Amino acid sequence: MIMKQARLFKKTTQDSSSLRFISLLLVLFVIFLILQNSITNVHAEDDDEDDEDDDFEDVSKDLGWAAIGLLAVNSIYVLFSKAFRITRKFSDEGKFAAVKSNTRATYLKVRKPLQIVHGISGFAALVVLLIHGVVLTDQDFEAVALGWASAAILIFYISTGIILMFKLKPFWTAKKVRKALLFLHRSLILLVLIFILHIVHIVISD
């Protein structure tokens, strides 16, 4: 019995490690494709100085859309988590029992890999967004202000995730603060706000 449980634990650990590794590769591959596409667009243009300035600005705008794409990837875990919490309230009997059971089983399988994707894509989005913002600081005030506002909210969002992940004091020990951080990080409020502000920022910049 003990040997059987040990083999099962070993198999589960190996499967989890494989899923994490695959998830990490997928995120890195998406980032590589985005950056590769931006670099290709630059080299496809003329080498004239004015054209190079335009190319550089185009790449910066591409990075803005890349940040949106990474945030979309980041939202996958939030949506899965939200679905799990909603179906968890369903009854264990009746027509929704199977939905509750299947959602729970799926969520528990993908939770760890999605957490890794969630963390990596969020950090990558912040890096890309900051590069995009620094390059486009000579744009109209409204566009720059909206861009940095979305970056500031993203920094706060990532900070709440770091606090919750590592249980940093004094935030973690203060019950009301911890509940507020959990609500903000688990809800879609901040992510939706970042999406809206940043898309408006890119549209204005064009």
pLDDT of 180 strictly over 90? yes
Mean pLDDT of 158-177: 89
pLDDT at residue number 23:
57
HSE-CB of 196 using CA atoms within 13 angstroms = 6
Q: Are 104 and 90 in contact (CB under 8 A)?
A: no
Q: What angle do CA 140, 142, 143 make, to 5 degrees?
A: 70
pLDDT recorded at residue 9: 41
Closest among 20, 24, 62, 25 to 40, alpha carbons compared: 62
Over the chain, what is the mean pLDDT?
A: 77
**Which residues, 6 or more positions from 157, have their beta carbon under 8 angstroms from its beta carbon?**
122, 184, 185, 190, 191, 194
Alpha helices in 88-96 (DSSP H): none
Where is pLDDT greater, at 177 or 204?
Answer: 177
**Which domains, and CATH codes, for the chain?**
16-205 (1.20.120)
Q: How many CA atoms lie within 13 A of 44 on its CB side?
A: 8
pLDDT band at 94; cut points 50, 70, 90: confident
Which two three-digit tokens encode residue 173?
């020990």
- Mind listing the pLDDT tens digit for each residue in 49-86? 455 556 666 777 788 888 888 888 889 898 889 889 89
Distance CA 40, CA 82 (A): 38
Cα 9 from Cα 49, distance rounded (Å): 61
pLDDT tens by residue, 99-110: 899 999 999 999
